[in-house]
Structure 1
Amino acid sequence: MDWQQHAARLADQSTEPDSRWLAPVAKTPRHELVPRWWKRNGSNGWQLKDGAADPEAWMKAAYADRSLITRVGTLHADRAEPDDQPHGLPTSSATVPSLVVRMLRHGRLGTGLSFLDLGTGAGGLTAYASMRFGAENVTSLDVDPYLVSAAGNRLAHMGYHPEMVTADATERVPGTYDRIVSTVGLPAGPGLRPVLSALAPGGRIATTIGRTCLIITGWKHANGDVIGRVERDMAGFMLTRSGDDFPPALSELFSLAREGEGAEISTGTYPVLDVAEAWELSSMLQVTTPGVETDYEQRDGIRSAFLAHPDGSWARASAMGTAAPEVHQGGPQRLWTALERIRGRLNSEGSLPLLGAWVLITPDGVCHLSRGKWRASIGNR
Structure 2
Amino acid sequence: MIWEAAAADLAARVTHRSSRWRGPVARTPRHVFVPTWWEATDGRWELREPVNEEQWFPAAYADRSLVTQVGDLHADRAKLDDHPAGRPTSSATLPSLVVSMFQHARIDDGDELLDVGTGSGYGTALAAQRLGDEAVTSIDVDPYLVDAARNRLAIAGLHPTVETVDATGPLPVKAGKFDRIVSTVAVRTVPTSWLAALCTGGRLVTTIAGTSLILTAEKRADGAAVGRVEWDRAGFMPARHGADYPAGASGLLAAAHEIDGEDVTTSPYPVVDVANAWDLDSMLGITAPGIEHAYHDDGRRRTAVMAHADGSWARAVGVGSVRPAVHQGGPRRLWDTLDEIRAYWLQHGELPARGARALITPEGETRLARGEWRAVL
TM-score interval for Structure 1 and Structure 2 normalised by the shorter chain: over 0.9
Query: Could you give the per-residue CA deviations for residues 42-68 of structure 1, whole angstroms, max 9, x where no partner exists?
Result: 12x1111112x1421211101110100
Hey, what does 1:145 align to over in structure 2? 143
Query: Could you give the per-residue CA deviations for residues 115-149 of structure 1, whole angstroms, max 9, x where no partner exists?
Result: 01100011111111111111110001000011111
Hey, what does 1:269 align to over in structure 2? 268
**Distance in 2 of aligned mates of 1:68 and 1:118:** 18
Query: Are 1:74 and 1:245, in contact at CA under 8 Å, matched by a contact in 2?
Result: yes
Hey, what does 2:187 align to over in structure 1? 186
Please show how residues 145-294 of structure 1 align to structure 2 within 5 Å: 145-175=143-173, 176-188=177-189, 192-294=191-293
Hey, what does 2:333 align to over in structure 1? 334
**Distance in 1 of aligned mates of 2:196 and 2:308:** 30
Query: Could you give the per-residue CA deviations for residues 62-87 of structure 1, whole angstroms, max 9, x where no partner exists?
Result: 11101000001111000111211112
**Distance in 1 of aligned mates of 2:297 and 2:239:** 29
**Distance in 2 of aligned mates of 1:290 and 1:272:** 20
Deviation at 1:301, TM superposition (A): 3.7
- Identical-pair percentage: 53
Please show how residues 1-381 of structure 1 align to structure 2 within 5 Å: 1-43=1-43, 45-51=44-50, 53-175=51-173, 176-188=177-189, 192-299=191-298, 301-320=300-319, 323-378=322-377
Kindly tell me the number of residue pairs found equivalent between the two proteins: 374
Query: Are 1:10 and 1:26, in contact at CA under 8 Å, matched by a contact in 2?
Result: yes
Query: Could you give the per-residue CA deviations for residues 242-270 of structure 1, whole angstroms, max 9, x where no partner exists?
Result: 11101212133324422221121111122
Change (3 A) 1:56 1:298: same
Query: Are 1:174 and 1:198, in contact at CA under 8 Å, matched by a contact in 2?
Result: no
Query: Are 2:214 and 2:230, in contact at CA under 8 Å, matched by a contact in 1?
Result: yes
**Distance in 1 of aligned mates of 2:104 and 2:320:** 39
Query: What SS does the aligned partner of 1:259 have?
Result: coil
Aligned-partner residue type, residue 185 of structure 1: A
Query: Are 2:107 and 2:180, in contact at CA under 8 Å, matched by a contact in 1?
Result: yes
Query: What SS does the aligned partner of 1:258 have?
Result: coil
Query: Are 1:203 and 1:219, in contact at CA under 8 Å, matched by a contact in 2?
Result: yes
**Distance in 2 of aligned mates of 1:370 and 1:280:** 16
**Distance in 1 of aligned mates of 2:183 and 2:283:** 21
**Distance in 1 of aligned mates of 2:320 and 2:34:** 39
Aligned-partner residue type, residue 54 of structure 2: E
Deviation at 1:299, TM superposition (A): 4.1
Deviation at 1:163, TM superposition (A): 0.3
More displaced stretch, 118-127 vs 253-262: 253-262
Unpaired runs of 5+ in structure 2?
none
Deviation at 1:198, TM superposition (A): 2.1
Query: Are 2:248 and 2:309, in contact at CA under 8 Å, matched by a contact in 1?
Result: no
Deviation at 1:200, TM superposition (A): 2.2
Query: Are 2:253 and 2:292, in contact at CA under 8 Å, matched by a contact in 1?
Result: no
Aligned-partner residue type, residue 231 of structure 1: E
Aligned-partner residue type, residue 37 of structure 1: W
Change (3 A) 1:214 1:12: same
Query: What SS does the aligned partner of 1:365 have?
Result: coil
Query: Could you give the per-residue CA deviations for residues 173-219 of structure 1, whole angstroms, max 9, x where no partner exists?
Result: 22132210000011227xx2222222222211000011111100000
**Distance in 2 of aligned mates of 1:266 and 1:78:** 49
The alignment's TM-score, normalised by the length of structure 1, stands at: 0.94
Deviation at 1:291, TM superposition (A): 2.6
Query: What SS does the aligned partner of 2:24 have?
Result: helix
**Distance in 2 of aligned mates of 1:68 and 1:17:** 25
Unpaired runs of 5+ in structure 1?
none
More displaced stretch, 335-344 vs 68-77: 335-344
Aligned-partner residue type, residue 262 of structure 1: G
More displaced stretch, 132-141 vs 10-19: 10-19
Query: Could you give the per-residue CA deviations for residues 146-168 of structure 1, whole angstroms, max 9, x where no partner exists?
Result: 11111111111111100011011
Query: What SS does the aligned partner of 2:256 have?
Result: helix
**Distance in 2 of aligned mates of 1:301 and 1:85:** 32
Change (3 A) 1:261 1:113: same
More displaced stretch, 146-155 vs 1-10: 1-10
Deviation at 1:8, TM superposition (A): 1.4
**Distance in 1 of aligned mates of 2:342 and 2:55:** 42
Query: Are 1:73 and 1:89, in contact at CA under 8 Å, matched by a contact in 2?
Result: yes
Deviation at 1:298, TM superposition (A): 3.3
More displaced stretch, 165-174 vs 27-36: 165-174
Change (3 A) 1:25 1:281: same
**Distance in 2 of aligned mates of 1:46 and 1:323:** 37
Query: What SS does the aligned partner of 1:149 have?
Result: helix
**Distance in 2 of aligned mates of 1:346 and 1:90:** 32
Query: What SS does the aligned partner of 2:13 have?
Result: helix
**Distance in 1 of aligned mates of 2:321 and 2:68:** 36
Deviation at 1:321, TM superposition (A): 5.3
Aligned-partner residue type, residue 350 of structure 1: G
**Distance in 2 of aligned mates of 1:41 and 1:333:** 35
Query: What SS does the aligned partner of 1:188 have?
Result: coil
Deviation at 1:322, TM superposition (A): 5.9
**Distance in 2 of aligned mates of 1:195 and 1:213:** 20
**Distance in 2 of aligned mates of 1:205 and 1:302:** 44
